[in-house]
Chains A and B, each alone.
Chain A
Amino acid sequence: RKEVEQDPGPFNVPEGATVAFNCTYSNSASQSFFWYRQDCRKEPKLLMSVYSSGNEDGRFTAQLNRASQYISLLIRDSKLSDSATYLCVVNGRGSTLGRLYFGRGTQLTVWP
């Protein structure tokens, strides 16, 4: 089983739509959770960290459900500039401490 699983999409939504991405992780001891964004042919960049109580940054809301080992990202009022691949990221613990595990990414295209 992969450490992080996420729906690859693609998601194609119109401007202004609300879209949600989900991912699951396998290591119940993981303590760090992130969403990264990767534009075509560019490096991954941190979009937001995910905290246990859930957190919001403008149009973006991240949720963590530790019992179900599930992370979500909600994007409201989608913009054309939100088109990218979104990577779910979880850290390793124990023997894999210091490593981050990346999902394969969910591709989003926002159309006018």
Chain B
Amino acid sequence: NAGVTQTPKFRVLKTGQSMTLLCAQDMNHEYMYWYRQDPGMGLRLIHYSVGEGTTAKGEVPDGYNVSRLKKQNFLLGLESAAPSQTSVYFCASSYPPSREGWNYDTQYFGPGTRLTVL
């Protein structure tokens, strides 16, 4: 199993350009997430999805859109990139939390995409 993969690994954009980050998982996980990580800020949730065809806003959703057309894929779009979106983007996936068991909802992360917006 490849686990969680992300493409591309690196990207440089100019202000105003658009791009899509792709996340794919082969673990049959229901839940998928997009985070950004900036120095001193920790991981911040951008958007997440609890199943195919559903998405929800996280902590910092502005400037981003997402789609989950297939269970295994979760796309993050930047319509008009800004320098403030320079960051490392991580995708993650998990099973849903279980009513009976603890720690069922462990998240597994992809290797990240390093994005620079000039």
Binding site for B on A (CB under 8 A): 31-34, 42-46, 49-52, 87, 91, 97-100, 102-105
Contacts of A43 in B (CB 8 A): 90, 109-112
Contacts of B107 in A (CB 8 A): 46, 100
- Chain B interface residue count, Cβ-Cβ cutoff 8 angstroms: 24
A60 to chain B, nearest CB (A): 15
Instruction: Decide: A51 and B102 in contact? CB cutoff 8 A.
Output: yes
Given contacts A42-B112, A44-B43, 8 further A-B contacts (CB under 8 A): A32-B103, A33-B102, A43-B90, A46-B107, A91-B105, A98-B105, A100-B105, A102-B42
A35 to chain B, nearest CB (A): 11
A and B contact pairs by CB, cutoff 8 A, 11 listed: A32-B103, A32-B104, A34-B103, A43-B109, A43-B111, A49-B103, A51-B103, A87-B42, A87-B43, A98-B48, A103-B42
Chain B positions 63-118 with a Cβ under 8 Å from a chain A Cβ: 90, 94, 96-97, 102-112
A6 to chain B, nearest CB (A): 10
Any chain A CB within 8 A of the CB of B61?
no
B111 is contacted by which of A33, A42, A46 (Cβ under 8 Å)? A42
Q: What is the total of A-B residue contacts with beta carbons within 8 Å?
A: 57
Binding site for A on B (CB under 8 A): 31, 40-43, 45, 48, 50, 58, 90, 94, 96-97, 102-112
Instruction: Decide: A34 and B43 in contact? CB cutoff 8 A.
Output: no
B100 to chain A, nearest CB (A): 10
A79 to chain B, nearest CB (A): 23
Instruction: Decide: A91 and B97 in contact? CB cutoff 8 A.
Output: yes
Instruction: Decide: A31 and B43 in contact? CB cutoff 8 A.
Output: no
Closest residue of B by beta carbon distance from A100: B107
Cα A43 to Cα B107 with chains together (Å):
11
Cα A51 to Cα B102 with chains together (Å):
8
